[in-house]
Chains A and B, each alone.
Chain A
Amino acid sequence: MEALDTFRQETRAWLEENCPPSMRTPMPEEETVWGGRNAKFPNPDAKLWLDRMAERGWTAPTWPKEYGGGGLTKEENLVLQQELRRIKARPALSSFGLWMLGPALLEFANEEQKKEHLPKIVRGEIRWCQGYSEPGAGSDLAGLQTKCEDKGDHYLVNGQKIWTSYADKADWIFCLVRTDPTTKHDGISFLLFDMMSPGVEVRPITMISGASPFCETFFTDVKVPKKNLVGELNKGWTIAKRLLQHEREMISGMGLGGVGAGGGIGSLEQVAKDYFGEVDGRIASPSLRDHITRQKMDSKAFALTMQRSAEEAKAGQGPGAASSIFKYYGTELNKRRYELLLELMGTKALGWEGDGFDDGEINVTRSWLRSKGNSIEGGTSEVQLNVVSKRVLGLPD
């Protein structure tokens, strides 16, 4: 306990000295620091903040020091996160490397691969993207067909990926490839390669929200060194599933209407009062009021369930069956929230761009469109319900 108190004091002092004041302000989404060879920083402070945090390994606080991480215990990391929240510090670095690939490498990669890739993720030098879905392999991900042939001293990759997030901005890709076409799950391998390799082509996809965060990615005779295979040949599905878990956990949190939900437009009841009107301090429409209450009550119930699950895990009772519903419920809740915002704001939430709408309103429109993907990406709601039916409820095929 005492050691933890000392750690807190030291951490607080270090943050006080090293976190630039401009990095203690709310961060608009477009100022997110993703790192990479062509890293963009909104200002010099953001780069300074990343360099200082990376120096300590605090962009990946719990990773071992030998791979550039902070080497902190879970308890110390909790303290660090609390102290970062206390001063409202911006995340120094956001990346799929930190959130998804890193934990998988720590678990499945060989020593050489860890030493090669982890420190660059910590320092934000290499930006990663995820090559999972294919045109013919969406919900049925294990049906993927991107071909990977053993050519003696290298692998040769041919095929196509889709919904590759930020492939146009990424330096490297972690990719699921087919190394045995005669079987399904047991013929998939987990491969890493440089997006600059000859034969890699990327085309951004314009989404209904107008943004292009996803890409189509084509591989034509891409040569990949054999040392870039993670884990055993044909054992990639195990790694893939573990990564999907991380991804689903990330997406679940959206249902809580926290950061970014509604683009800082305010609470639902305030939006209703502002855009619909009030009578004697109450929302003028009983019907809208009721919709808002349903949303608020369900959000509270969902938040309590995530809290209960975390407490159960802490009490050593395992993650519990409740966690199996998070992805499904959280994303459906988030979609409902945006539909409700549209009802509350009327035509003010139906603008596309230009005059007549402020940034917050446009953000609601665009976020509403974006939210539709929540229940599709990372395993559709239907796939999630299948998982609950079979694994939790034990219902047969």
Chain B
Amino acid sequence: MSSRNASSACPTRPARIETNPAQDKARGSHMLKQQESRDEMALVLTEEQQLLRDTATQFFQERLPIANLRKLRDTKDATGFDRVAWKEMADLGFAGIMISEKYGGTDFGPVGLGLVLEQAGRTLAASPLVSTVLLCGSAVQLAGNATQRQDILSAIAAGDRVMALAIEEGPHHNPARIATKAVADGNSYRLTGSKTFVLDGHVADQLIVVARTAGEETDRSGITLFLVDPKSEGVKVTRTLMVDSRNAANIEFRNVAIPSSAVLGSVDGGNDVLEQVLDIARIGLSAEMLGIVQQTFDTTLAYLKERKQFGKVIGSFQALQHRMAALFAEIELCRSVVLDALSAIEDRRNDVPQIASIAKARLSEIATLMTNEGLQMHGGMGMTDQFDVGLYMKRARVAAASFGDANFHRERYAALEGY
């Protein structure tokens, strides 16, 4: 499969993209109406959504095929993603998909973003969709004041600003434990602490930092979000190269001066916003993992129909057939859960935290299972760098660990449900 992918050219943008529904503002209000009447059919895509999916499929396969990720990796690209392609994604409306038209977004909603992420997952497209759109865009949308929204959301929608959320402090996702401190100092704050696994942190134009302004290390209250310029004095950014060839950074803050106008949302009340933002990111990552899982399944199935041993294609062996059929079942369940989770955000349902945890737990587990099985069924070739299955396995592990793995989300679900 890799030879096919590697040889595919990257043509200029296809003509069909000009009629992309996400860009067609005139149809925007019509789309919203469609969505309102979707209560009873939340798990079936509307025509507009199917069009958007097709547009995204075409874009990622032609513009950001997996060869693009290999090139970024092999050339040790300083940015870690293709800035020109990111700008094109913004032009297509992908960057502003959750942002209202007022700020230059397309307001296509979470289901639309999920469809784009799934297609991005299929080609392992590296882009700031997670860091900038899912995390920081949502945070500003939810908590930003008028000035912050105008400034940041329009810059994100235009593809002019890359942002990163600095939250993690250890090797496991743990939003309830924040040690980074911001201490009031007259009309400003002084920020001190260290963050790790900051996605796109090494190239971010602006950071959102989760810091403690009151309370003890594990208190839910006393958390505040700050908009921080990474060029400020006392900020030290170190790029970390991850196994999936995507970007992250360790960032240290030493007594960094932050004006109080840089507070995002309310002082000490950042946890509520953070939980909502994280749930959006968890669901978005689940959509990306759905793409990873589906692509790995499809290429593995194709390989089973090609590869011959003992004089017949190995796909005729029942030992492999049953494993593929069982994986097919698991993936069908994955798709239902992801669609329902995306609808939950869109419809502002009150079970978003629960369904976010169900989606992230299931997709993290099945992405791990599918890539392991895919590699095994590719035999020795699966172990080579030339074949893509290894790349999918690497990305699956990082996506699974991001914002809570399956263990984290099962624990969280049980706590939410009170048992």
The residues of A with any CB-CB pair to B shorter than 8 Å are: 269, 272-273, 281-283, 289-290, 292-294, 296-298, 300-302, 304-305, 307-308, 311-312, 314-315, 317, 321-322, 325, 328-329, 382, 384-386, 388-390, 392-397
B28-49 contact mask (Cβ, 8 Å, vs A): 1 or 0: 0000000000001111100000
Q: In whole angstroms, what is the CA distance A179 to B326 when docked?
A: 37
* A382 and B322 contacting across the interface, CB-CB below 8 Å: yes
**B35 vs chain A, min Cβ distance (A):** 15
**Partner pick for B337 among A281, A282, A304, CB 8 A cutoff:** A304
Q: Which residue of A lies closest to B42 (CB)?
A: A311
B325 at the binding interface (Cβ < 8 Å)? yes
Task: Given A301-B362, A394-B305, verify A289-B414 contact (CB < 8 Å).
Answer: yes
Centre residue among A302, A315, A386, A396 by max chain B CB count within 10 A:
A396
* A385 and B340 contacting across the interface, CB-CB below 8 Å: no
Q: In whole angstroms, what is the CA distance A321 to B325 when docked?
A: 11
Q: Which residue of B lies closest to A306 (CB)?
A: B336
Q: With a CB–CB cut-off of 8 A, which chain A residues contact B305? A: 394-396
The residues of B with any CB-CB pair to A shorter than 8 Å are: 40-44, 301, 304-305, 312-313, 315-316, 318, 320-322, 324-326, 328-329, 332-337, 339-340, 358, 361-362, 410-411, 413-415, 417-419
Q: In whole angstroms, what is the CA distance A125 to B43 when docked?
A: 42
* B410 and A297 contacting across the interface, CB-CB below 8 Å: yes
Q: With a CB–CB cut-off of 8 A, which chain A residues contact B415? A: 282
Q: In whole angstroms, what is the CA distance A23 to B417 when docked?
A: 34
Centre residue among A322, A390, A397 by max chain B CB count within 10 A:
A322
* B316 and A396 contacting across the interface, CB-CB below 8 Å: yes
**A284 vs chain B, min Cβ distance (A):** 11
* B324 and A395 contacting across the interface, CB-CB below 8 Å: yes
User: Can you show 27 pairs from A to B with CB atoms below 8 A apart?
Assistant: A269-B414, A269-B418, A282-B414, A282-B415, A283-B419, A290-B414, A298-B333, A301-B336, A301-B362, A308-B335, A312-B43, A321-B328, A322-B336, A325-B328, A328-B329, A329-B329, A329-B333, A382-B322, A386-B318, A386-B325, A388-B325, A395-B305, A395-B316, A395-B321, A396-B312, A396-B313, A396-B315
Q: When A and B form their complex, which 6 residue pairs have the shortest distance between CB atoms, in order from nearest?
A: A269-B419, A389-B321, A308-B43, A388-B325, A325-B329, A304-B336
Q: In whole angstroms, what is the CA distance A20 to B362 when docked?
A: 46
Q: With a CB–CB cut-off of 8 A, which chain B residues contact A390? A: 321
Centre residue among B304, B336, B337 by max chain A CB count within 10 A:
B336
Q: In whole angstroms, what is the CA distance A385 to B321 when docked?
A: 8
Q: In whole angstroms, what is the CA distance A290 to B415 when docked?
A: 11
Known: A269-B419, A304-B337, A325-B325. 11 other contacts (CB 8 A): A272-B419, A273-B419, A289-B414, A304-B43, A307-B43, A315-B44, A322-B336, A325-B332, A328-B326, A390-B321, A395-B301
Task: Given A298-B333, A305-B333, A308-B339, verify A385-B413 contact (CB < 8 Å).
Answer: no
**Partner pick for B413 among A297, A308, A397, CB 8 A cutoff:** A297
Q: In whole angstroms, what is the CA distance A317 to B326 when docked?
A: 23
* B333 and A389 contacting across the interface, CB-CB below 8 Å: no
Q: In whole angstroms, what is the CA distance A394 to B304 when docked?
A: 11
* B419 and A308 contacting across the interface, CB-CB below 8 Å: no
Q: With a CB–CB cut-off of 8 A, which chain A residues contact B301? A: 393, 395
Task: Given A301-B358, A396-B315, A396-B316, verify A312-B44 contact (CB < 8 Å).
Answer: yes
Q: With a CB–CB cut-off of 8 A, which chain A residues contact B320? A: 395
Task: Given A305-B332, A388-B328, verify A397-B419 contact (CB < 8 Å).
Answer: no
Q: With a CB–CB cut-off of 8 A, which chain A residues contact B42? A: 311
* A315 and B41 contacting across the interface, CB-CB below 8 Å: yes
Q: With a CB–CB cut-off of 8 A, which chain B residues contact A283? A: 414, 419
Q: In whole angstroms, what is the CA distance A293 to B417 when docked?
A: 10
Q: Which residue of A lies closest to B333 (CB)?
A: A301
* A311 and B44 contacting across the interface, CB-CB below 8 Å: yes
**B325 vs chain A, min Cβ distance (A):** 4
Q: With a CB–CB cut-off of 8 A, which chain A residues contact B335? A: 305, 308, 322
* A307 and B332 contacting across the interface, CB-CB below 8 Å: no
